[in-house]
Amino acid sequence: MFTPQGPSLRELTVQALSSVEHGYDLLASKFDATPFRTSDRLLIAVTGTLKTLGPFDSGLDVCCGAGAGLGVLRSVCAGRVTGVDFSTGMLTRARNAHPTADLVRADALALPFAPAFDLAVSFGAFGHFLPADQRTLFAQVHAALRPGGTFAFPLPAPPPVGSRLYWTLWGFDAAMRVRNAVWRPPFVMYYRTFRLADVRARLEAAGFEVSLTPVETLGRREDGSPHCRLVVARKK
């Protein structure tokens, strides 16, 4: 099996010193070989959980990137599936992988859709939205859904305080804040700005009713809590 070669350190550095849009254009051809791609394990687990919440007709992948989430929509939606992203390079990759999907280049903070979708999903994109922009993002998704439509996305449990992963994410966010303080254009990507309590409040403020569904196939932690929850926000 052919495995795409990942980007070099130089390529990742150039990307990190670009804008978010241009950075992903640069990375698009090798994105699937990076650790930033949503894992197949998570995609399969979310697909199984969504199937218990359907049926769904039309689906929208918000910030679809190279199209990993479009496969999830294909599995759970009976109708058309659409992906939206603002990176031309990533949309080209998505089009190669999903030639029958509708792909739209647009900013997720200004979605160009009428209320046309029964299900919206998003994978791995929320770190690109500062807390102040999350309200706008959720309002835009709400406006794109039909009454009773669902916005669903996985939210892994936070790492234990003091763990290696905890300090890795803390260090990454700190480095990004320094980078954005001294370099323009900014590259917005943070791992610790999407906390469940805040997200739930912002979804409810946008007009959603919010519930949490454990993604059971990903297992549970020692304290019995799930490793990952599916946030299920239904439009009132």
pLDDT at 22: 59
108 near 43, Cβ under 8 Å? no
pLDDT at 41: 94
pLDDT at 213: 97
- Interatomic CA distance for residues 233 and 53, integer angstroms: 12
pLDDT at 113: 96
pLDDT at 137: 97
State the maximum Cα–Cα separation within the chain, in Å, rounded to a whole number: 48
Q: What is the pTM of this model?
A: 0.85
CA distance to 64, 67, 94, 108, per residue, from 82 (Å): 9, 10, 11, 13
pLDDT at 8: 66
Output the tens digit of pLDDT for each of the chain's 236 residues. Answer: 334 566 665 655 555 556 566 566 656 666 666 666 788 899 999 999 999 998 999 999 999 998 999 999 999 999 999 999 999 998 999 999 999 999 999 999 999 999 999 999 999 889 889 888 999 999 999 999 999 999 999 999 988 888 988 888 888 889 888 888 887 887 777 778 788 999 999 999 999 999 999 999 999 999 999 999 999 999 98
What's the 3-state SS for the chain? CCCCCCCCHHHHHHHHCCCHHHHHHHHHHHHHHCCCCCCHHHHHHHHHHHHCCCCECCEEEECCCCCHHHHHHHHHECCCEEEEECCHHHHHHHHHHCCCCEEEECCHHHCCCCCCEEEEECCCCHHHCCHHHHHHHHHHHHHHEEEEEEEEEEEECCCCCCCHHHHHHHHHHHHHHHHHHHCCCCCCCCCCCCCHHHHHHHHHHCCEEEEEEECHHHCECCCCCECEEEEEEEEC
